[in-house]
Amino acid sequence: MSETAPVHADGYVHARDDQEYARLRNQAEMWRGASEILLDDIGLKPGMSCLDVGSGPGSVMRLMADRVGETGTVTGLEIDGELGRQALADLKADIGADVRLVEGDVLHTEKPPGAPFDLTYCRFFLMHMPDPVAILEKMHRWTKPGGAVAAQEFDFGAIAIEPLCPPIMEFNRLFEGVFRAHGRNLRAGRQLPAQFEAADIGAPDGTRSEVKFLPLSDMAAMLIGVYQGLFASAVELGIADSARAEKFRTEMAEAAADGRYYCITPILIGAWKRVS
């Protein structure tokens, strides 16, 4: 069994199905406030144009549209056409802003329609890229002089349950095993300033970070969803099986119902830079 074979041709290690899409929407809602703060730091205004690289379920596109209004434009670049088209339909049904979708792989996109933009942004994205600096270089090229490049990425150094319980150990074993086997970055957030410098964007003008400390009952479904979304990749690597997964789900649900346990989330770190 190969230890490098990805589940998806583009190397994405999570599932692409309705269950995973629902998890992505829940994750986006959890971190909505942190993204709103960063967008407001940047100073999005009516009439501006934005690109969300790896736009997924469209949650950040919605936040952008709220700020640029009907005179602005918001474009999502998304490789998963099914997810992107559903997001676009939902946005068009709800808001009056000019929202657009480019279906494609950022690695093979030279210049998305509408470029250059006032803001080029990504979230939960660079950690999946084999060369995040190359992605930031593209984002820089797609940004107007005076516009901004921004990214928000997880740093997984903090995730834990207190007091310690067996299911978080199993979660971390599978999560880190899949990410490391596929060369994914568990420390993407803290590396953003250095990556901005390496991409010739320059040192960030601003940074933000947020971490949550929540009852495990509020986080268990998310942790189970992440585990399930990575399960196929883990099976390919020979580090997971159905019996182990069922044991994890049962023990995590029991711990969540116990009432004693609290979860420290990953740190979400954001950085932005106005470009010349």
Tens-digit pLDDT profile for residues 58-114: 999 999 999 999 999 999 999 999 999 999 999 999 987 899 999 999 999 999 999
- Residue 272: pLDDT band (50, 70, 90) is very high
Q: Average pLDDT, stretch 211-227?
A: 96
Query: Residue 232: what pLDDT?
Result: 92
| pLDDT, position 133 | 98
Confidence of residue 7 (pLDDT cuts 50, 70, 90): low
Average of per-residue pLDDT across 40-50 = 98
Give the C-alpha distances (Å, rounded to integers) separating 2 from 5, 7, 13, 52, 130.
6, 11, 14, 34, 19
The total of other beta-carbon atoms located within 10 Å of residue 256's CB is 22
CB atoms within 10 A of CB 109: 16
Instruction: Identify the residue whose tokens are 């940004």.
Output: 143
Say if residues 39 and 62 touch (Cβ distance below 8 Å).
no
pLDDT at position 9 is: 55
pLDDT tens digit string along 19-38? 888 888 998 999 999 999 99
With 80 as the cut, is the pLDDT of residue 4 above it? no
Report pLDDT for 17: 83
Extents of the domains making up the chain: 18-274
pLDDT at 18 over 50: yes
Res. 13: pLDDT tops 80: no
CATH code assigned to 18-274? 3.40.50.150
- The pLDDT assigned to 175 comes to 94
Contacts of 113 by beta carbon, 8 Å cutoff, 6+ apart: 75, 100, 102
pLDDT (mean) for 106-128: 96
Query: What DSSP assignment string belongs to 185-236?
Result: -TTTGGGHHHHHHHTTS-S-SEEEEE--EEEHHHHHHHHHHHHHHHHHHHHH
Between 244 and 184, name the one with better pLDDT: 244
Amino acid at 61: M
Phi then psi for 44, rounded to 5 degrees? -60, 135
Of the pLDDT bands very low, low, confident and very high (cuts 50, 70, 90), residue 5 is very low
Residue 1 clears pLDDT 90, i.e. is over it:
no
How far apart CA 98 and CA 209 sit, in angstroms, is 30
What's the pLDDT score for residue 3?
Answer: 39
Pick the more confident residue, 12 or 171. Answer: 171
Cβ-contact 100, 113 below 8 angstroms: yes
Q: What is the mean pLDDT of residues 167-172?
A: 96
Average pLDDT, rounded, for the chain: 93
Q: Is the pTM of this model over 0.85?
A: yes
* Segment 10-15 mean pLDDT: 68
Instruction: Give yes or no for residue 171 having a pLDDT over 60.
Output: yes
